[in-house]
Amino acid sequence: AQKITQTQPGMFVQEKEAVTLDCTYDTSDPSYGLFWYKQPSSGEMIFLIYQGSYDQQNATEGRYSLNFQKARKSANLVISASQLGDSAMYFCAMRGINDYKLSFGAGTTVTVRA
Amino acid sequence: DSGVTQTPKHLITATGQRVTLRCSPRSGDLSVYWYQQSLDQGLQFLIQYYNGEERAKGNILERFSAQQFPDLHSELNLSSLELGDSALYFCASSPQSRDSTYEQYFGPGTRLTVT
């Protein structure tokens, strides 16, 4: 079974600053994928970024980057140059090689201040 | 826009009633997943279908059932509704059934309120 832990229930960040959202995971699968999703107040779940457990480089997608530390079982999301539209709930998720489903963390609410 | 559609967007119904939530996956995706998001349970996986066949079950109540049709759209049926069933129900899709490299794309969700 997979377990995802997001220890930061809420964070404030100043516009144009960077913010790091913590995510640690636990799995016995030899191969797995790590994902981050954004959920704005409107409710939809938006896929942001993916990191494979065997990927040698950290994933990046525009202003999003994933700081993957396999030995520490962490997959932190970094949002650079925060914008007001980044205010949302962010979920870390994972899927093992033998999994059908995504397992989600509890989420972190990010509020960007002008 | 993820390409996954869900109807209705909002649903208000009374306890004891039955409702059907509908989902159309992204073009070309064969897998459909249903998730429930509630304040106390977070995001929970309910069930998955791949090309018309049930592939995995999660924390799905016996009062709930689902199916995937030949055109790949899926329906989640919730019966004998209770107040605790009030939640946001998501459908997601992906190309494959069991591949950890594929992200799942989520629909906009159906917000169910049971009164």
- Mean pLDDT of the region B3-25: 97
Task: Kindly tell me if the per-residue pLDDT of A111 is higher than 80.
Answer: yes
A-chain residue closest to B56, CA distance: A100
Task: Kindly tell me if the per-residue pLDDT of B1 is higher than 90.
Answer: no
Instruction: Write the pLDDT tens digit of every residue in A27-39.
Output: 988 889 999 999 9
Tell me the shortest Cα–Cα distance from B76 to chain A, in angstroms. 17
Which of B53, B101, B102, B105 should be substituted to probe chain A, the one whose Cβ sees the most A Cβ atoms within 10 Å?
B101
Task: Kindly tell me if the per-residue pLDDT of B101 is higher than 70.
Answer: no
Task: Kindly tell me if the per-residue pLDDT of A53 is higher than 60.
Answer: yes
Report CA-CA distances (Å) from B60 to A49, A71, A76, B45: 28, 34, 30, 8
Task: Kindly tell me if the per-residue pLDDT of B31 is higher than 60.
Answer: yes
Cβ–Cβ < 8 Å for A75, A23: yes
- Mean pLDDT of the region B5-28: 97
Q: Measure CA A83 to chain center.
A: 17
Chain A positions touching B90 (Cβ under 8 A) are: 45
In this predicted structure, what is the pLDDT of residue B97? 61
Total beta-carbon pairs less than 8 A apart between chain A and chain B: 64
